Amino acid sequence: MAGEGGGAEKSKRILVTGGSGLVGRAIAKVVSEGEGREDEDWIFLSSRDADLTSAEQTRAVFEKHRPTHVIHLAAMVGGLFRNMKYNLDFWRNNVHINDNVLHCAHELGVQKVVSCLSTCIFPDKTTYPIDETMIHNGPPHSSNFGYSYAKRMIDVQNRAYFQQYDCKFTAVIPTNVFGPHDNFNMEDGHVLPGLIHKAYLAKKEGSSLTVWGSGKPRRQFIYSLDLARLFLWVLREYQEVEPIILSVGEEDEVSIRDAAESIVEAMALKGELVYDGTKSDGQFKKTASNKKLREYLPQFKFTPFKQAVKETCDWFVTNYDTARK
């Protein structure tokens, strides 16, 4: 996975952990399609290059590439149902990965690290919209407390590295991400890719499409390619240690029902939509404010949701045999 841009030594060596995942591949695409710069050498890692839960392997991969900048995406990630089953594993793996990456970055003098939190780590009982100041205001939803607390500790660590060593380690907070190269597993994945996979099969079999839960919960979805462009801006321009929410606006929040209907339209599915109320809905909503982002980037244009869903469905259909399922 770890591809190095050849030629002369570049002044910036940007190491992307989790480079083989949904977000990492979107960053690689955006960089290779014109947003990369002359002075940047990009290195995308997968777990095959190093198991980042291991301090030794993390150190070795950092010494090998000697990055000046790090985008830290690697994490144990999953949808609601996988999170509910494995809270301990989510906590331990993610705490180890994050501590290994941040500490190596500090020890090897990395100039900047941008890590990745998530809006699903915010307090369960909160006022809406949530913003960057509220991360630690109360316990997260019980379904994913292992993942949530591990992610919250990145913010704690970033502040501590800044306080003790003046490190520029920061974090972004995306809402629900989707796009090509997602995990389209129907049991363990996130809601949108899981539904896209189910819709694909429903179309093939001429059957109905069953949505888990009531369809009423509301979410803000961000297209992975939009997120990738925002990551580049954060890496290059954003100077705060405090995290920043990367999200579409509150007005662009959609219900799971809306999302399912967009998939039906994108796939030209004829069968009916059925809601399985015996399955958990998870958090009803987690509406996030993108006010801070808008203050920095008032002109940024997000891809319209239906267009992004269509592009993702088309990618999945074209790449069905090799897609992560």
Residue ranges that bind ligand NAP, judged by CB under 6 A: 18-24, 46-48, 51-53, 73-77, 97, 116, 118, 174, 176-177, 183, 190
Region for residue 182 given its phi and psi (left: phi exceeds 0; alpha: psi -120 to 50; beta: otherwise):
beta
Task: Report, in Å, the least distance between residue 74 CB and ligand NAP.
Answer: 4
Nearer of residues 118 and 170 to ligand NAP, judged by Cβ:
118
Task: Report, in Å, the least distance between residue 282 CB and ligand NAP.
Answer: 13
Active-site amino acid positions: 147
Nearer of residues 47 and 303 to ligand NAP, judged by Cβ:
47
For the chain, what is the largest distance between any 2 Cα atoms, rounded to a whole number of angstroms?
61
Contacts of 65 (CB under 8 A, 6+ apart): 2, 4, 13, 15, 43
The SS3 call for residue 49 is coil
Nearer of residues 222 and 269 to ligand NAP, judged by Cβ:
222
Nearer of residues 211 and 269 to ligand NAP, judged by Cβ:
211
Amino acid at 35: E
CA distance readout (Å), 303 to 85, 104, 259, 312, 322 = 34, 36, 15, 12, 25
CA distance readout (Å), 292 to 167, 197, 298 = 22, 34, 10
Contacts of 304 (CB under 8 A, 6+ apart): none
Which tokens hold the place of 242? Answer: 């405090």
Which tokens hold the place of 23? Answer: 């977000």
Nearer of residues 75 and 199 to ligand NAP, judged by Cβ:
75
Task: Report, in Å, the least distance between residue 274 CB and ligand NAP.
Answer: 25
Paired residues of 222 in beta bridges: 177
Distance between CA atoms of 153 and 187, rounded to whole angstroms? Answer: 28
- From 293, 315, 309, select the one nearest 238 (Cα to Cα): 293
